[in-house]
Structure 1
Amino acid sequence: MATAVQKITLASSRDIPFNKLALSQSNVRRVKAGISVEELAESIARRGLIQSLHVRPIIGDDGTETGMFEVPAGGRRFRALELLVRQKRLAKTAPVPCVVSEAGADILIDEVSLAENIERAPLHPLDQFRAFLALREKGMTEEAIAAAFFVDVKVVRQRLRLASVSPALHETYAEDGMTLEQLMAFTVTEDHARQEQVWEAIRDNWAQEPWQIRRMLTETTVPASDKRAAFVGIEAYEAAGGYILRDLFQQDEGGWLQDPVLLDRLVGEKLKAEAEAIAAEGWKWIEVAVSFPYGHDHGLRELVGTPVDLTEEEQAACEALREEYDQLEAEYAGDDDLPDEVDQRLGEIEEALAAFEDRPVIYDPAEIARAGVFICIDGDGSAMIERGFVRPEDEAPADPEGEDGDGAGGAVPDGAEPGSHQRAVITIGGEPSDPEEEDDETDAIKPLPERLVIELTAHRTLALCDALASNPRIAMTALLHKLVLDCFGPPVSGCALQARVHDVHLPVQSPELGDSPSAQAIDERHEAWKRDIPLGQDDDRLWDWLDQLDQASRHALLAHCVSFGVNALYERPNPYSGNGVSQQGLDRRMHEADRLAQATGLDLVEAGWKPTVGNYLGRVTKTRIIEAVREGAGDHAAELIGHLKKGDMAKEAERLLADSGWLPEPLRGPVDAEAKDDAFGQDDDGVALPAFLAGDDDDDDETASADDEATQTVAAE
């Protein structure tokens, strides 16, 4: 016969007037913790009593109930209600929700108090972050949330920032996969994809410190302490639409500027304005850069100018400052430590005297006409202007007649009238500030801008990834090549197997890279594998799944994974520190990229790359545009666009080169380059021109002349 289970009877609840309650001396809470009684009272006044009190009848000496109740569990709530009564905000007889236990219960009252406090489960921090976010989404301001929960507004902002981290990282944190300090570090960027990418890169490494996470997340941003930011000014950057992300959990020295391209543009504009103002002084050339390398003025003759004389008032002020300085030094000569106000005054005098010494310098106008100026940004963010440097080729020729420099010795440049100011040639970062003007001055083809080379090699890197993933045999060779080097080369430290694919980050890329055929092919392939692979489950199941794959599928998956490690990206060599790549390392990288491209048969034309105004033609000089058209469409086509302005020339060149298969140097492989050079070097008769650009040799001179006129008109449009 089954034994009946005895049912539990819960204590009843009822409302009891507050003046019938008394705090029990058996309450276990003695040490203050959590929010204060005052804050709890305000919470009750705002939201009411969320949790009932637990009470027990008080028994008199005669063994009967007195009508009073003691409170063993809920003492802080009782004290908060008591405070509200004293403040006349709550009536003494106000009913209080209470759970009433029996007076003669077997459970000790101390046990009830202890259980009520230790069995309370604290709220997980992530739930608190999400709750704050939900309140803000429902219309509460940060200030209102702070007032409602008696915390500082900064605390609310911190928790809201934590709530904005990637949901995937939230889940990792909820499962104790990362610490709160690590989660805080991820708040320095709002890019969820980058947050997840960094976590995937470090999750299995020993380097998981918060500072390491912050460093990786901000490597493509510019700290507000950077001299470029100080030069432009944070206000000007924000006024131009720039965004600054702050670290709410640590000192960040002003945060990080999230748009380095915008910052560089503003820096260039301000430096150019400085250069144009100085150009009015009559200098022959002005070189502008964010910073110049050490020894940039070596081999140049520096002019010796005459400082501007001080006025009588300035001379008197200078002497007075020197006397004051000498008096203060003599007065405190025997003191080990100077008083703060005296030390501050001495510093002010030194700055004032330095300003008098650093006064403008007057140069000989004849020397100015052949000399130049360097303009860069000083370490404190101010403009550093170095005037008066003469290049060897600009030196005045020796006068065989022995005449002085006032004659025809080259004091006045060719083509300039005596007494007139020449227009300085301004170069910014090695590029002319006015490309149109520079193109008119010289037909020489200068090196491509470094940023453009990086963008072009980013296209090549992505196309090479796609090509390698489509060729398992070459991917296997590349992987074996890496493993053989690791196995038979110099010893390296590591774990069981030092074969790891590092996903290459492309910090500089053109806007259309994400929509390129290579990028779309990689994404589609990755999503297809992602749907099949049993991710997020135990490793044994993944191993079994891989083990059961057929040989063709295993090769295809291997090729796809290996392709993510391809790095054919150009970057500036850095031989002076451990960061970046050395020149030797860069040469090796580009050589191996050429080998992979040749082995996979990569053709950037077939991969979908075409020269456009945005990705190349609008970024280079007119000379390079004409050279590109000459190589891709022939000499005749190049001659027809030679008279156009740069903007129109770039648009017309894009049309002419659309189906030509022409590639710039960074996108040509070693074999490609030879083949294309041979093809581009063929006779013009072998180049097909558009109808309106093509001439008819059989027509008479009048028709040819009319065609030429029509052709020029259309090209100019």
Structure 2
Amino acid sequence: MATTPSVHEAPSVSETPAERLPRSFPLRDLAVAPENMRFGEAPDDEIPELAETIFAAGVLQPLTVRPGKKKEKPAMALDGRRRWLALQLLLEAGRIAEDYPVPAFVETDPARQAAAIVLTNTAVPVHVADVIIAIGKMTKAKLTSAVIASALGYAEIDVRRLLALAELHPKALEALRSGRLNLKQARLMARVPSKKEQGEIAEAVLNGFGFQEWRITDRLDAGQVTVRDRRFRLVGAERYGAAGGRLESDLFGERPDVILDPEILQDAWIARAEALSAGLRTEAVQVLVSVAPSQIDDPALEPFGDAYGMGLDAEALSAWDQAQDAAQDAAATLHEQDLSLPEADGAIAALLEAKLAAEVAGEPFREISLVQVFSDGSTGLDVRAFGPPAPVVAPEDDEAGRAGDSDEADEGDGAREPTAIVRRGVISVVPVAVAPTPELEGVNHVLHDVRTDTATRALIRALADDPAVALTALVARLFGVLVLRQNRAKGGGALAIDAETYGRVGVSPIEALDGEIRRRLAERRAAWEASEVSPIGWVDGLAHGEKMALLAELVALSLDLREERTTSVRRSARAEAVEIAALCSADVTLHWTPDAGFLGAHPKPKLFDMLDEMGAGESRAGACKKDELVALVAERAAERGWAPAYLSWAAEPPAEAEVEEEPPAAVAEAVGDDAAEAPLAA
């Protein structure tokens, strides 16, 4: 065991030693210092292997020497005896000459000389890039991985990994040495088979563009099936191997094993899934096994599980809750088990039966005719039941069951009764906001179309600039469509979730409103094309703020509040638009004021009304021609930053409340003037 060197006074911070750089000495000027701890010992059996590695790759670790004294060689090795012996072996064999350059650190300070005798880490560490290059040279010199590992003191698997890195493009090794590339990234690049592509990626890294890891991982993942496949957990390595399946392990141990025979995995999974689900099959129930839930095209079948307990009485609801708890307990028992073992068969079969019972308990008035069994990553298998849909029971109250979006229902004032949704015999009342009554007097169909068209574009701009509100609108729409099943027909809601971009045939976008959003999306499309990845991969790589902004733009451009006729007022959509506009503080004047295209659709009386509303009435306006009046209104609106309120979907102001009588003087004196005036101020 090495002894601890004597303790010396630590130098001050200002006395930082200069950087130590190795010098080169000819071999003939080197010898082992007598104070070396192993001076005079015979060479060990591994010196020949060390000599081979030095001959192939040179001396990677410089020796530590002191200046020679009288009758000594110029450089006496304090550390590096085995390397000197290996060099002597090569010299005796005639493979190197006496002038062979040997790198060495020269220590002149007695304290550092003492440390060099007992410590082996006084030299500057060798960069991993140098080790990689050296191992590559050793391999070219016909040294095996075992010999190199023995000489360097590495595990053989580590040598094999470094050898794989030695095949990297020189620019990649340069980037690794310069710190632009870390070892993990270098290992990932080593998996790229094309040296040319390696060079291109490394060139980009050296030029400061960063390492695009996703380009490599996407390529490696494409078309590969690994042991992370959800089928593999149910099949297991033993069953897969017994069927003749092969696995390929990652050399660096960083990526999952690759399944080389996916068809064998598929056959093994189907065989086991069918065996475990055999108990679900009866004369009346068909069992369909598929890896992923497939689309059932039979229109006579409807899936279970959408009712969420609606229509159940207290007793049936309690039974449904208990069945769900039992299914969850059955699933919990499988989370920590090895699903590939035969011991798990009973628990998996019990889970399938429990989940099927829970679906039946949720809709006991329906019959099951088809059970779909599919793969699940945590429990091995899962089920979904299908059967004929339950008959829709019409409500007794005809007014409650009447659709709220028909022309007849839209007649009347702006107040709207809650919509009644009838599904599976259950009536759910959905409250809606109250939209203001549209101005229809003196407005023909063409003008009404223009107004609602422009108002739609105005709210598109406001919503696109408020991602949080766009998210709210989107989630609310999805909830209404998927859960409440309301406003599913075209025009039923403010958002057209069917992913139809809003537009009007023959009419160009308004540049400052929806035109701005289309421009943003065009730029995003260009960015996606340049990324050369799938849309999902591109969106996943966006920062959260960018994702939210993109969501707002897409949701906003799906808005459709246009009404082509005065008799097609969409009160449901209008009510939603009022709420959305209030949430995102929609104000069309922030981006646009009425222009000639918008104003030209209005008759002259409406244009005069606009001048009066903005306080810009002029005596000369009456003498203007239509086009002159349009230009005047556009000019005054731009000066004042004005636009009709309906373009920002402002809510109808409440009716003025009756003013309370002034409280008696005695009351005011008793409670104080401020308290007496508070109700009036409020």
Same fold (TM over 0.5): no
TM-score of Structure 1 vs Structure 2, range by shorter chain: 0.3 to 0.5
**TM-score normalised by L of structure 2:** 0.33
